[in-house]
């Protein structure tokens, strides 16, 4: 397996610290075959903070000015360096130099302050890889889901980083179907029994799944038709259920994946099950990308208190996907 690329994230956040804390385990998981895309000076400072060895291989991204960025602050210098690290890691993985990208958190405000106007990692990755059919998925290992076996639980989001008032326009039959298919594809790779189809649950958009139209028509007009199309294509998928109860079934082992209609609907439920073990996976890319499922945590940055569990799980998933040698090759945009 070629090296795993680990991006440092925002220098003012907890990214450098969690990488340092997780590095011994990362090297174990990858067979001493991982490299950080970031700034060596920042990584050395993080190692000193944690009292750990500063022998982490680093592909330099960003200049010396990065060392002057105060902890826990929004700064264009750290936004620029974080962006450059992601771009270089993605390009190297597309070129076959590395086998997967694992990202520490960047700060969206710093990213935009540096002139890179993206809502987050996911959109950068999709543009750089030239894809339009993609999704953010949160994945929880089976150890955090009482009713699951070794496959874990995934939540895929139909809409992502956008204002709540824009969500309804994006809930279309095509979008719901596309995300269901991405969820099915990912979990088919994770399931050990290749003869078993993943079981997918679908969240409603409205309270009580619309209560037969009393609280909204999207379930009948959009989500159910999308499920019908998915079933016609062979997916094992249920009709929409109320979002406030579906995760109880998922936690109990009924579902391998759940399709959520918007960001917080999926994030809150999954993070309550296992905040520090959850993994962010970008679906639909021609490369493997996993990430921590948390942000830069400016409130605790450079205090030595950050937890590295999510990063370790992200590396585990990246290694598992890279080892199976079956990275999907989606259609690239030509516009």
| Residue pLDDT, tens place only, 155-171 | 999 998 899 999 999 99
Report the percentage of the chain scoring pLDDT > 90: 81
Residue 335 has pLDDT above 60, yes or no: no
Q: What is the predicted pLDDT for the residue at 333?
A: 36
Q: How confident is the model at residue 142 (pLDDT cuts 50, 70, 90)?
A: confident
Q: What is the predicted pLDDT for the residue at 329?
A: 44
Q: How confident is the model at residue 73 (pLDDT cuts 50, 70, 90)?
A: very high
pTM of the model: 0.88
Q: What is the predicted pLDDT for the residue at 302?
A: 97
Q: How confident is the model at residue 325 (pLDDT cuts 50, 70, 90)?
A: low
Residue 136 has pLDDT above 80, yes or no: yes
Q: What is the predicted pLDDT for the residue at 114?
A: 97
Q: What is the predicted pLDDT for the residue at 327?
A: 47
Q: What is the predicted pLDDT for the residue at 45?
A: 96
Nearest Cα neighbor of 296 from 80, 90, 16 is: 16
Residue 328 has pLDDT above 60, yes or no: no
> What's the mean per-residue pLDDT of the chain?
92
| Residue pLDDT, tens place only, 295-324 | 999 999 999 999 999 999 999 999 999 987
Indicate the class that CATH gives domain 1-131+284-335. alpha beta
Average pLDDT over residues 120-143: 91
Q: What is the predicted pLDDT for the residue at 268?
A: 93
> Same fold for the domain at 1-131+284-335 and the one at 135-282?
yes
Residue 334 has pLDDT above 80, yes or no: no
Residue 185 has pLDDT above 50, yes or no: yes
Residue 130 has pLDDT above 50, yes or no: yes
| Residue pLDDT, tens place only, 198-247 | 999 999 999 999 898 899 999 999 999 999 999 999 999 999 999 999 99
Q: How confident is the model at residue 79 (pLDDT cuts 50, 70, 90)?
A: very high
Residue 193 has pLDDT above 90, yes or no: no
Residue 150 has pLDDT above 70, yes or no: no
Q: How do the domains of the chain map onto residue ranges?
A: 1-131+284-335, 135-282
| Residue pLDDT, tens place only, 257-268 | 999 999 999 999
Residue 148 has pLDDT above 80, yes or no: no
- In the CATH hierarchy, which fold is given to the domain comprising 135-282? Isopropylmalate Dehydrogenase (3.40.718)
Q: What is the predicted pLDDT for the residue at 9?
A: 97
């Amino acid at each position: 397996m070629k090296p795993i690329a680990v991006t440092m994230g925002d220098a003012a956040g907890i990214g450098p610290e969690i990488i340092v804390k997780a590095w011994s385990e990362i090297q174990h998981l990858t067979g001493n075959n991982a490299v950080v895309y970031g700034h060596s000076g920042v990584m050395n400072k993080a190692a000193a903070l944690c009292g750990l060895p500063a022998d982490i291989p680093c592909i330099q991204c960003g200049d010396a000015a990065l060392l002057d960025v105060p902890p826990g602050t929004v700064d264009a210098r750290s936004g620029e360096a974080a962006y450059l690290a992601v771009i270089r890691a993605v390009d190297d993985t597309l070129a076959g130099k590395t086998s997967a990208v694992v990202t520490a958190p960047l700060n969206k405000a710093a990213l935009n302050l540096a002139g890179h106007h993206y809502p987050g990692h996911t959109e950068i990755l999709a543009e750089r890889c030239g894809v339009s059919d993609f999704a953010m998925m949160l994945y929880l290992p089976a150890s955090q889901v009482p009713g699951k076996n070794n496959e874990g639980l995934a939540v895929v989001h139909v809409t992502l980083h956008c204002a709540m008032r824009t969500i309804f326009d994006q809930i279309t039959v095509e979008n719901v179907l596309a995300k269901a298919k991405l969820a099915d594809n990912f979990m088919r790779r994770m399931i050990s029994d290749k003869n078993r189809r993943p079981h997918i649950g679908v969240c409603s958009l409205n309270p009580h799944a619309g209560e037969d139209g009393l609280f909204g028509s999207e379930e009948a007009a959009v989500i159910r038709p999308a499920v019908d199309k998915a079933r016609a294509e062979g997916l094992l998928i249920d009709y929409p259920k109320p979002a406030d109860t579906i995760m109880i079934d998922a936690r109990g082992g009924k579902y391998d994946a759940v399709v959520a209609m918007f960001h917080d609907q999926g994030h809150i439920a999954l993070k309550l099950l296992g905040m520090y073990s959850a993994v962010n996976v970008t679906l639909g890319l021609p490369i493997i990308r996993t990430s921590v499922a948390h942000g830069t945590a400016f409130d605790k940055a450079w205090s030595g208190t950050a937890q590295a569990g999510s990063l370790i799980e992200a590396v585990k998933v990246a290694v598992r996907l890279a080892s199976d040698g079956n990275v999907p090759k989606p259609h690239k945009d030509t516009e």
